[in-house]
């Protein structure tokens, strides 16, 4: 059965409005021991759309589910055709000021770790060394039969060779790197097997309908336990995948500050929500704390998700 991802939530109570005062962010960062939890909103300034914001992709696009992907060759063909085209655009995204500010806070010892719900590799490309990719990375591919992992760039090269005439024009790109194509545009796109065992290849990401590996969840819970506070950046917290860490921090009476333009499912657990754009806000906070956020480096012109950190991290 086709599963529809959770698009929105309706608060069961009146939530306080967000503030436009960035001082709460500066205060918890200045205290140190901050764990960052980031969502799609931190990457929108890099040109990658979010799922649930204004104009979010879920209003027009249903992401592939694990059940559909594993149960249908036609679904896999549709996915890999759309993802192969999307990879060309997705891979050109660069870290923005928000990603670079988080990395600067890490270098200063104020941020102890990053949990990201994104699969774009932009935190790592900006210099965050130990970001936990809660939902995996589009920079890797995994075989569902033998478990072998390989860099996405290798599969992209093989798919290009196997489909030399595939060059449709997509209507748009989605947060999961999936391009909007019609069935006619997908056509008879050729899907390739694992080079090790001939099994089914899947991007090394957690699809809708698939569970985050338990050991990864426990690692994130340990990061929450070790942190002094939790700073949520650009996540609606609509699904439990990220919300559980907000609940854990709140239950441990650790301050939670959320930076997100719109209300979130975690607002009731937070000390405050700052309704400001992420890049400019984090850069301004860094300046207040006397921390320099590096300008976009020339090396970032290479596709962020094709970088070694995103492609080969395990």
Residues flagged as binding site for Zn(2+): 143, 146, 194, 197
Catalytic residue from among 61, 84, 99, 135: 135
Known catalytic residue at 73:
no
> Annotated binding residues for NAD(+), as ranges?
39-59, 117-120, 234-236, 278
- HSE on the CB side for 253, CA within 13 Å? 0
Q: How many CB atoms lie within 10 A of CB 61?
A: 20
Q: Give the phi and the psi of residue 204 in degrees, each rounded to 5.
A: -80, 60
Do residues 234 and 40 lie in contact, with contact meaning Cβ atoms separated by under 8 Å? yes
Check the CA dihedral 90-235-51-21 and report its sign: negative
Q: Count Cβ atoms below 10 Å from residue 52 Cβ, excluding itself.
A: 24
- Chain centroid to CA 108: how far? 24
CB 264 within 8 A of CB 69: no
Query: Could you tell me the two tokens for 27?
Result: 């205060």
Catalytic residues: 135
């Amino acid at each position: 059965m086709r599963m529809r991802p959770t698009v929105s939530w309706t608060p069961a109570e009146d939530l306080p409005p967000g503030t436009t005062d960035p001082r709460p962010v500066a205060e918890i960062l200045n205290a140190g021991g901050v764990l960052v939890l980031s969502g799609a909103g931190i990457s929108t300034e890099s040109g990658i759309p979010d799922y649930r914001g204004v104009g979010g992709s879920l209003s027009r696009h249903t992401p592939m589910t694990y059940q559909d992907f594993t149960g249908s060759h036609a679904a896999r063909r549709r996915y890999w055709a759309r993802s192969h085209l999307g990879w060309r655009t997705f891979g050109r995204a660069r870290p923005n000021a928000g990603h670079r500010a988080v990395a600067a806070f890490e270098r200063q010892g104020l941020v102890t770790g990053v949990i990201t719900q994104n699969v774009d590799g932009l935190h790592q490309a900006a210099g965050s060394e130990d970001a936990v990719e809660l939902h995996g990375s589009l920079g890797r591919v995994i075989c569902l039969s033998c478990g072998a992992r390989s860099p996405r760039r290798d599969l992209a090269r093989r798919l290009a060779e196997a489909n030399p005439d595939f060059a449709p024009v997509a209507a748009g790109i989605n947060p999961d790197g999936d391009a909007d194509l019609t069935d006619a545009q997908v056509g008879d796109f050729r899907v390739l097997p694992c080079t090790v065992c001939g099994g089914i290849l899947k991007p090394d990401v957690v699809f809708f309908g698939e569970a985050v590996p338990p050991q990864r969840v426990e690692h994130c819970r340990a990061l929450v336990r070790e942190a002094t506070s939790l700073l949520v950046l650009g996540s609606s917290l609509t699904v439990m995948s990220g919300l559980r860490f907000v609940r854990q921090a709140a239950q441990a009476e650790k301050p939670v500050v959320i930076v997100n333009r719109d209300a979130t499912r975690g607002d009731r657990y937070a000390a405050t929500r700052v309704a400001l754009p992420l890049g400019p806000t984090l850069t301004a906070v860094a300046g207040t704390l006397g921390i320099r956020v590096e300008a976009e480096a020339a090396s970032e012109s290479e596709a962020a998700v094709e970088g070694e950190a995103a492609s080969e991290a395990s």
